[in-house]
Amino acid sequence: MRDLGFPRNVFSHLSGSARATKKPPMSEPLKDLLSQLAGNDAAESGDVDPWQLIEAISPEEDSQASGDKSLEEMISRINSMTSRGSDDEGAFAETARAAEATLEPTIHTQEDGDMPFYPREPESLREAHLTGTDVEALCLKYLLTAGEASGREIAAQLCIPFLLMDEALRKMKYDQLVVYKDTAQAGDYVYYLTDLGRERARRYNEHCTYYGAAPVALRDYVASVRAQSLEGQSPSVQALERAFEDLLINKAMFRRLGPAINSGRGLFLFGAPGNGKTSIAERVTRAFGKYIWVPRAIGIDGEILRVFDPAVHDEVPLEDGPGIMQQHRIDRRWVRIKRPTIIVGGELTMDNLEISTIQATGVSEAPLQLKSNCGTLVIDDFGRQRMSTDELLNRWIVPLEKRYDFLNMRGGKKIQVPFDQLIVFSTNLEPRDLCDDAFLRRIPYKIEVIDPTEQEFRQLFDIMCPLMGFTVNEPAIDYLIETHYKKVNRPFRCCQPRDLLMQVRNMCLYENAPLELTKEYFDDAVDNYFAVM
């Protein structure tokens, strides 16, 4: 309902008539209206004649300016009473005004060993650092693809609270972009696009086809990395022992690994192949907290940068239950994952270290170092990549020291992002042959993974035999070590007990024989395994 459109002289006419003639009898509804217009408690109680109040506030001939001001106030009061809660535009405007409150950070921490950080569900689009245009674009593109959807389905797709989505949909309906098709449960509606909405959705699609979870602001992502950083943690000896409990590591090696992991910075593992460099690198992350939160996507000046990647991130949803959800009120634009460990080998190229954009969709993908923030990035078989080592080292020489990186968006905008992960370079080549002293200085820990001793070699057999279904046969293992290692001066490797037992197991299964260790089986396994070694 709009302005009633009363002429400005209506109250003067009423008050003038009241002075000139006898006041007419008054009905109760009219009396109530005049009492509300007068805004006087006494009039409402019936102690004062409302006609007298109207007459008292009408403009006098010698004070026209004062009278006009009073009339403006009364007309404003009429409009506010008649339009309160009357249309969708007013409701949306009221929500927009409420959102003008001071921004609160959407990042919070709590005292919980498994979840020291959590993103709180936003109470307004402003608090979520989203604009009405952001939500409109995502919603229209989703409806263009889906055809029709209820408000709750749209809210679930965009990972926005239903109350905020409902207000945005009302605004879009007022703008004639969407219309109701049917009713849904709990005061919801099924929406579909109008011709105007379909045309606008196509224009949005030309820029970017993404219509997934609403993006998180870059500043919120930076704050989340700072809160979950490895540098802020100091794993204890007990935490490291739990992380490496399934590996056999001698005490000297463990003593060197501890401070390197505790630093949360670069680590260089080198040594002969087969001694567990990759296995060590894979377990480094276990020494820190189990879980972190990452955004599904980051919004940067209208561009979408996807961060969550199911190929390298293991999602760990919160347990179902109203108690947990009421306690945490999680922002569903974020995903809880296991602290990431990303391993790349010879397939690594320079393109993997920069933002990649699919031109057909306009969606950008975060580089590996961004996806591994707050975790571990393992460069396995360092020196065997398709890109040269100098190219890789020059790209990271500054981020390794400054702990931040610069990335170029599709539109040419350069952004600063955290470079906050434990970088592990694993190689069986000589480090001095791969990089210069300037780079080695920025990798504070260089640890050689040495061959196991004979005693450790035997311990590995003791560990692996039960896991593969064998009973430990000491005479057969003695024969293997004396005949095929000491006589030929063959070095021990940590991977060999597992690999040789696998050879024997496959022979037993092929011959349909019981799983057992014999000299003959070990002879055959050695012939196969060391044929060209």
Q: Would you give the DSSP letter of residue 353?
A: G
The verdict on 422 and 444 lying in the same domain is: yes
Domain that holds residue 408: 221-318+327-448
The verdict on 160 and 289 lying in the same domain is: no
Domain termination residue (choose one: 403, 429, 448): 448
Q: What pLDDT is stored for residue 446 in this prediction?
A: 85
In a domain, residue 416? The reply is yes
Say how far apart CA 406 and CA 400 lie, in whole Å: 12
The token duo for 355 is 């933002």
Q: What pLDDT is stored for residue 198 in this prediction?
A: 95
How many CB atoms neighbour CB 280 within 10 A?
23
The token duo for 14 is 């009423």
The verdict on 205 and 245 lying in the same domain is: no
Say how far apart CA 326 and CA 318 lie, in whole Å: 12
Alpha helices in 273-360 (DSSP H): 277-283, 322-328
Domain termination residue (choose one: 214, 245, 264): 214
The verdict on 188 and 238 lying in the same domain is: no
In a domain, residue 52? The reply is no
What is the DSSP code string of 245-296? TTS---HHHHHHHHHHHHHTS-EEEESSTTSSHHHHHHHGGGGS-SEEEEES
The verdict on 460 and 408 lying in the same domain is: no
The verdict on 401 and 313 lying in the same domain is: yes
In a domain, residue 64? The reply is no
Strand partners, 377: 342, 423
Q: Count structural domains, the chain.
A: 3
The verdict on 382 and 463 lying in the same domain is: no
Q: Which residue has the tokens 């460069």?
A: 379
Radius of gyration (C-alpha) of the chain in whole angstroms: 36
The verdict on 356 and 378 lying in the same domain is: yes
Say how far apart CA 248 and CA 36 lie, in whole Å: 85
Q: What pLDDT is stored for residue 111 in this prediction?
A: 38
Which among 132, 157, 131 has a CA at the least distance from the CA of 144? Answer: 157
Residue 253 makes CB contacts below 8 A (sequence gap 6+) with: 447, 449, 450
In a domain, residue 28? The reply is no
The token duo for 413 is 């905008």
The verdict on 207 and 241 lying in the same domain is: no
Which among 340, 335, 327, 244 has a CA at the least distance from the CA of 289? Answer: 340
Q: What pLDDT is stored for residue 92 in this prediction?
A: 39
What is residue 268's three-state secondary structure? strand
Domain termination residue (choose one: 172, 191, 214): 214
**Per-residue pLDDT tens digits for 116-146:** 678 889 999 999 999 999 999 999 999 999 9
In a domain, residue 58? The reply is no
The token duo for 335 is 């995903």
**Per-residue pLDDT tens digits for 236-269:** 788 888 888 878 877 888 888 888 887 777 788 8
Strand partners, 342: 377
Task: Tell me the pTM.
Answer: 0.72
CA dihedral of residues 254, 257, 262, 267 (deg, nearest 10): -170
Q: In CATH, what number is assigned to the domain containing residue 331?
A: 3.40.50.300
The token duo for 383 is 């020196």
Q: In CATH, what number is assigned to the domain containing residue 137?
A: 1.10.10.10
The verdict on 262 and 154 lying in the same domain is: no
**Per-residue pLDDT tens digits for 264-283:** 777 888 888 888 888 888 88
Q: Which parts of the chain register pLDDT below 70?
A: 1-116, 320-328, 533
Q: What Cα–Cα distance (Å) separates residue 316 from each residue in 83, 292, 302, 320?
A: 48, 10, 29, 12
Strand partners, 297: 306
Q: What pLDDT is stored for residue 57 in this prediction?
A: 45
In a domain, residue 57? The reply is no
Q: What pLDDT is stored for residue 325 in this prediction?
A: 44
Say how far apart CA 274 and CA 428 lie, in whole Å: 9
